[in-house]
Amino acid sequence: MDENLLGSDKELEKQLETNIKKGLTTEEVTLKQQKYGKNELPKGKITPWYLIFLKTLVEPILLVLMGAAVISIIAPIISNKGHIEASEFIDAIVIFSIVLIDAILETVQTIKARKSMDALKSLSKPKTVVIRNDMQQEIDASELVPGDIVVLEAGKYVPAELRIIEANDLSIDESILTGESVSVDKTHLALKESTTILAEMKNIAFMSTFTTSGRAIGMVIKTGVETEIGKIAKSINENEEESTPLEKKLNSFTYWISGLSFILAILIFTTLFFSGDQKAWANYLMVAITLAIGVIPECLAAVVSITLSISTKKMVKQHVIIKKLQAVETLGNVNFICTDKTGTLTQNKMTVKKMIMDNKIIASKEYAKEKNDNHMDLFLKALVLCNDSVTEGSERIGDPTELALVDFAETIGYDEQDSRDVWQRIDEMPFDSERKMMTTVNTINKVNTAFTKGAIDQLLQRCSKIMIDNVVRDITEEDKKILLESANELSKDALRVLAFAYHLNYDKLKDKSDLEHDLVFLGAVGMIDPVRETAVNAVRLAHEAGIEVVMITGDHAVTALAIARDLDLAHSEYEVMTSNTLNQLDDKQLLRVIEQIKVFARVNPEHKVRIVDALKQKGNIVSMTGDGVNDAPSLSKADIGVAMGITGTDVAKQASDIILTDDNFETIIKGVNEGRNVYQKIKRAIAFVIGVNLANVLAIFILSVINTVSPLEATNILWMNLIVESIIALSMGMGSNDPTLMKIKPIKGKNSLFKGLGYTLFKIILFTTIASIGAYYFGMMFVTEDYLKEILGDQYNPSLSWHQALRSNEYSVEQKIEIGDFGRTAMFVTITCAPCFYANFIKLSNWKADKKINLIINKPLWIASMIAVLVNLIVIFIPGFNEKILNLASVNSYNSNNWYLILGALGISLIPVIFMLLLDAITFLIYHYKPEPWRRNRILAQELVELDIQNEKRKRRSKKKPS
């Protein structure tokens, strides 16, 4: 701790070259402004829209797609020896269009979510009162310099870091910085001991905190970036933006798929070159490049962006603003949520929960239902009259504890402003930290009545009587013992106890110092910043989803643990760690225990960053939730930062990835559900696209090796990839969410995008490859001798079958392609229609969780599938397009002997979906009804453990219920 806290006023005056009484002169201010600069916070970085757009274009997946587009232009030029038709550019145009759409979507979403103003600057209020040139004057807060003398009043923001040199009943709300919900009483006295905990720096007023009561004079010791909030702002700006887990996985996937396509191209070209006619190398190169491009999922970037975009629109309706598309998926993978207490899990509003009345503890709600007698009347008057807070509409000025008293009195019908107008204050003794009491005198029915509030132990020393059951009698030692025991019981539950008393002897007093003697004890209240009811349910849902919730707060450990118990977060002091303990641990020691701690108390902003960093080092996906300036660095550091939209500061919103517009912790869990479904939909689309592409490439490769000529043309593959595949893959992201995903525990650590897709990919590749090859040979059954003679003319050899003709080097590539028209047509029908049939049955949902089959119908996908099948059948019969562009059998080639070729191919297209459903049914039945012995035992053990946990929770809840 520096000398600014420990030094005397005279030492500070000398050090900062100022005069406490007269302030700085104009000349001194000018010199200091040149030295220290303006009292402004560093501005947040704002990236221009064009840089966002360009940055999007250089993402790996889009670079590979653009490379594929360029190759798709070069390949036909090589194949056709420089001659190229306009139709050859179709694939390149489509790919470039997909790249452009994806980049535009990403840019628009980022700009829509970004704040247009400088969030940090808005926190510093523009005007402040200072003493300069031996006179008070109002100046812009940005003009303050170290050594300035600032005048503070209730309801004003602190304009810079101040060392308090005079104070009168000064309280400051520092929750924005420390997270502590109760206002801090400040003093002008120098601290006796060093401290690094902001909440314990009692003689410092921190920049951007709020003065709730009293008046003070302070000396500016730090300005701008040197203040605590300035340090936080600087750390936010210095944090480099990390890629989200989805971005990392997609980048890794891109490298993998690029390498695979390159290897395939070499393998296919080499195989065809050495097994076929080496003179046709240009054609083989074209086939190799075409198949390599066929592996690359051109539509994937658009699928991901559109799926995420659809989800962000859904989440806006659920009160969630997504600043970056990929943040949706990251939220779905979160397995640790670190959350601030004040305003996030709690209401950030002190509330009366318990009462000590008639020597008993009763709930405040029960007390409010009681009959309004003389005792209640006096007690409620004490609450509102011995009180300086004011509420009017949404305006709330005053200490949070006093506001809580006013709120409680209003629930029973006592308005503080009306009460003060009727029963006017004629005298008072303000609160003093030494007396720990406050007294006011009000005229009630022409009787001057004194009301006193304060710490119960101090107040009982001044009481000679007590009101019990509406009767005033002498207070006994037994009464005091009961009251103190009751207060201790409330304190154990982290309730702040405040007691009230009165007397009618004001007119008989000879000295004002006797005002707080011979009092009649009325009762006491227990207050706390209560948990949000929705937060309790949200924590329960998080635990069910396998997500650990960690509470990080500036409050004391006792208060934090009490709140954690109400939330079912933690139940013993061993799960709580204070900042003192945290400071004593090195990084390795912290890593060993970090996942066992559920509550961190009395923490500073830098502690929050350290906690988040430690959890991330353990392989966790960490979300940080908060609303204050003190949360901003950790919001920025976390994998996913979640800020509160209503109570949250602009700093927190700027540092976050997601903003909750309803400040409801439960909304985060809705976001997790949406994120998990988004990720599942993306994985499903990837499984579909990669599975179909690999199946097509494998089938073409096998048939090319057998026949020395590709069974399909580049345009066939292009049609499949960019028309059919894209339509279906995009519609996969438009379906309803699967609620069972919230029963799955997130997988810890770095996981491949293909984790869990092996079985699905195996089914798609195996059955689609078999069906495609089968369809080709089915089509080639319709190649007759007359058909071969018509194509080969004088070169026709009756002894050669169509298969032998394809392998012969005597015929040109063009002739071989024409021979395969029927096989190509049948195979085209199968590769384009089979995916439309089984796309609706690719399930990656939690089918292991329940014996009941969870049917989720994706209407857009069904409609897209039917449209795709219809379009595929139509193009087969469009004269010119079918034979000139797609190289399929012409309409004129169908006759009475081959009319059922298309119907047969459609029938073969159903084979993959039939076998997939059959295999899934067998797997499902075996898993649920014939489990292996080891898995059956594990299930039973898990059920017993869960039963024990539920019984333990019921016992704890029953103990907490009042008798």
Q: Please give the Cα distance from 651 to 120 (Å, whole number).
A: 5
Confidence band of 468 (pLDDT split at 50, 70, 90): very high
Task: Judge whether residue 521 has pLDDT over 50.
Answer: yes
Confidence band of 550 (pLDDT split at 50, 70, 90): very high
**What are the backbone dihedrals phi and psi of residue 437, each rounded to the nearest 5 degrees, phi first?**
-145, 160
Task: Judge whether residue 119 has pLDDT over 50.
Answer: no
- pLDDT greater at residue 382 or residue 50: 382
Confidence band of 46 (pLDDT split at 50, 70, 90): low
Q: Please give the Cα distance from 720 to 872 (Å, whole number).
A: 9
Task: Judge whether residue 103 has pLDDT over 70.
Answer: yes
Assign 3-class secondary structure to 764-815: HHHHHHHHHHHHHHHHHCCCCHHHHHHHHHHHCCCCCCHHHHHHCCCCCHHH
Q: Please give the Cα distance from 397 to 727 (Å, whole number).
A: 58
DSSP annotation string for 873-938: HHHHTSTTIIIIIS-PPPGGG--TTTTTHHHHHHHHHHHHHHHHHHHHHHHHHHHHHS--HHHHHH
User: Which has the minimum average pLDDT: 177-181, 490-494, 632-636, 809-813?
Assistant: 177-181
What 8-state DSSP symbol labels residue 142? G
Which residue from 372, 244, 373, 265 is spatially nearest to 658, judged by alpha carbons? 244
User: Residues 269-292: what's their mean pLDDT?
Assistant: 72
Query: Would you state the pLDDT for residue 639?
Result: 87
- pLDDT greater at residue 93 or residue 789: 789
Angle (deg, nearest 10), helices 665-707 and 281-295: 160
Q: Which of the given ranges, 241-250, 468-477, 894-903, has the highest pLDDT on average?
A: 468-477
Look-up of token digits 């929050």: 608
Residues 6+ apart with CB under 8 A from 474: 464, 465, 466
Residues 6+ apart with CB under 8 A from 732: 303, 307, 681, 684, 685, 688, 839, 858, 861
Look-up of token digits 């709330």: 396
User: Residues 83-105: what's their mean pLDDT?
Assistant: 67
Angle (deg, nearest 10), helices 400-411 and 374-385: 140
Which residue from 943, 954, 699, 707 is spatially nearest to 830, judged by alpha carbons? 699
Query: Would you state the pLDDT for residue 949?
Result: 63
User: Residues 846-871: what's their mean pLDDT?
Assistant: 79
- Inter-residue contact 270 to 667 (CB < 8 Å): no
- Compute the CA torsion angle 555, 559, 563, 568 (nearest 10 deg): 110
Q: Which of the given ranges, 11-25, 185-199, 308-322, has the highest pLDDT on average?
A: 11-25
Q: Please give the Cα distance from 902 to 830 (Å, whole number).
A: 9
Query: Would you state the pLDDT for residue 122?
Result: 45
Query: Would you state the pLDDT for residue 454?
Result: 92
Q: Please give the Cα distance from 790 to 812 (Å, whole number).
A: 15
* pTM higher than 0.75: no
Q: Which of the given ranges, 396-410, 644-658, 786-800, has the highest pLDDT on average?
A: 396-410
- For strand 395-397 and strand 390-392, is the pairing parallel, antiparallel, or unpaired? antiparallel
Confidence band of 963 (pLDDT split at 50, 70, 90): very low
- What element of type H or E holds 420? helix 416-422
Task: Judge whether residue 240 has pLDDT over 60.
Answer: no
User: Residues 951-958: what's their mean pLDDT?
Assistant: 63
Confidence band of 85 (pLDDT split at 50, 70, 90): low
Convert the pLDDT of each residue in 676-698 to its tens digit.
Answer: 888 888 888 888 988 998 898 88
Task: Provide the token pair at 632.
Answer: 């901003």
Confidence band of 357 (pLDDT split at 50, 70, 90): very high
Task: Provide the token pair at 62.
Answer: 């889009």
User: Residues 15-30: what's their mean pLDDT?
Assistant: 86
Strand 658-660: give its sheet, edge to edge: 320-322, 658-660, 640-644, 622-626, 336-340, 548-552, 599-601, 576-578
Look-up of token digits 């056709």: 80
Task: Provide the token pair at 323.
Answer: 């600043």
Confidence band of 481 (pLDDT split at 50, 70, 90): very high
User: Residues 711-729: what's their mean pLDDT?
Assistant: 78
Confidence band of 395 (pLDDT split at 50, 70, 90): confident
Query: Would you state the pLDDT for residue 840?
Result: 84
- pLDDT greater at residue 404 or residue 168: 404
Q: Share the mean pLDDT of the chain.
A: 81
Helix ranges (H only) for 545-586 are 557-567, 579-584
Task: Judge whether residue 235 has pLDDT over 70.
Answer: no
Please give the share of the chain, as a percent, with pLDDT higher than 90: 22
Q: Please give the Cα distance from 19 to 25 (Å, whole number).
A: 9
Confidence band of 116 (pLDDT split at 50, 70, 90): very low
Sign of CA dihedral 151, 154, 157, 160: positive
User: Which has the minimum average pLDDT: 63-67, 138-142, 165-169, 595-599?
Assistant: 63-67
Q: What residue type is assigned to position 57 of the chain? A: L
Which residue from 261, 256, 255, 254 is spatially nearest to 289, judged by alpha carbons? 261
- Inter-residue contact 193 to 412 (CB < 8 Å): no
Is 320-347+532-671 a domain of CATH 3.40.50.1000? yes
- Inter-residue contact 93 to 326 (CB < 8 Å): no
Query: Would you state the pLDDT for residue 236?
Result: 63
Residues with a known catalytic role: 340
Task: Judge whether residue 930 has pLDDT over 60.
Answer: yes
Task: Provide the token pair at 509.
Answer: 């007093």
Confidence band of 425 (pLDDT split at 50, 70, 90): very high
Q: Please give the Cα distance from 61 to 53 (Å, whole number).
A: 15
Look-up of token digits 């190398």: 281
Query: Would you state the pLDDT for residue 90?
Result: 61
| Residue ranges of domains in the chain | 3-36+125-158+161-222, 244-313+676-929, 320-347+532-671, 351-528, 934-963
Residues facing 133 on adjacent strands: none
Task: Judge whether residue 770 has pLDDT over 90.
Answer: yes
Confidence band of 128 (pLDDT split at 50, 70, 90): confident
Q: Please give the Cα distance from 805 to 793 (Å, whole number).
A: 13
CATH homologous superfamily, domain 244-313+676-929 = Calcium-transporting ATPase, transmembrane domain (1.20.1110.10)
- Inter-residue contact 106 to 100 (CB < 8 Å): no
Determine the topology of domain 3-36+125-158+161-222 in CATH: 2.70.150
Q: Please give the Cα distance from 363 to 720 (Å, whole number).
A: 69
Task: Judge whether residue 82 has pLDDT over 60.
Answer: no
Confidence band of 659 (pLDDT split at 50, 70, 90): confident
What is the CA angle 779-782-787, rounded to 5?
A: 125
- Inter-residue contact 430 to 413 (CB < 8 Å): no
Confidence band of 120 (pLDDT split at 50, 70, 90): very low
What 8-state DSSP symbol labels residue 346? B
CATH class as words, domain 351-528? alpha beta
Residues 6+ apart with CB under 8 A from 358: 468, 469, 523
**Long-range contact set of residues 371-380: C-beta below 8 Å, sequence gap at least 24:** 372/412, 373/470, 374/470, 375/467, 375/469, 375/470, 375/522, 376/412, 378/467, 378/502, 378/522, 379/500, 379/522, 379/523, 380/409, 380/412, 380/414
- For strand 640-644 and strand 622-626, is the pairing parallel, antiparallel, or unpaired? parallel
Q: Please give the Cα distance from 942 to 9 (Å, whole number).
A: 65
Please give the share of the chain, as a percent, with pLDDT higher than 70: 83
Residues facing 499 on adjacent strands: 454, 524
Look-up of token digits 């008393």: 501
Residues 6+ apart with CB under 8 A from 822: 779, 780, 781, 782, 783, 889, 893, 898, 901
Residues facing 528 on adjacent strands: 351
Which residue from 717, 834, 805, 689 is spatially nearest to 268, judged by alpha carbons? 717
- Inter-residue contact 530 to 181 (CB < 8 Å): no
Q: Please give the Cα distance from 904 to 151 (Å, whole number).
A: 90
- pLDDT greater at residue 437 or residue 720: 437
Query: Would you state the pLDDT for residue 552?
Result: 87
What is the CA angle 79-80-86, rounded to 5?
A: 115
User: Which has the minimum average pLDDT: 420-429, 853-862, 871-880?
Assistant: 853-862
Task: Provide the token pair at 227.
Answer: 């203040």
